[in-house]
Amino acid sequence: MVVCFPSTPKKLAATVSFFLSGAVLFGYGLHLWHVNAAPQQARIKARNEFVRDRLRKKSGKI
């Protein structure tokens, strides 16, 4: 079995920095997803209510 790892401290530092950069970007993406989830759910709920009301009025079941 061949062990693949950076052979110099400089390569190890580069590998760690790339990994941490990716982890930070992933965490920021999760943060944005969490922040935007509630407004999207509110828009969906409002749209569903609008469609239901519209269908009730159209069918005459006011």
pLDDT digit string, tens, across residues 9-61: 888 888 899 999 999 999 999 999 999 888 899 999 999 999 999 998 988 87
In a domain, 15, yes or no: no
Distance CA 40, CA 50 (A): 15
In a domain, 35, yes or no: yes
In a domain, 45, yes or no: yes
Domain that holds residue 41: 30-62
In a domain, 18, yes or no: no
Number of domains into which the chain is organized:
1
Query: Alpha carbon of 34 to those of 26, 37, 42, 43, 50: distances in Å?
Result: 12, 5, 14, 15, 25
In a domain, 17, yes or no: no
pTM over 0.95, yes/no: no
In a domain, 52, yes or no: yes
Q: What Rg, from alpha-carbon coordinates, does the chain have?
A: 25
Residues 6+ apart with CB under 8 A from 5: 12
12-23 pLDDT, tens digit per residue, is: 888 899 999 999
Q: Could you tell me the maximum CA-CA distance found in the chain, to the nearest angstrom?
A: 77
The pLDDT value recorded for residue 1 is 45
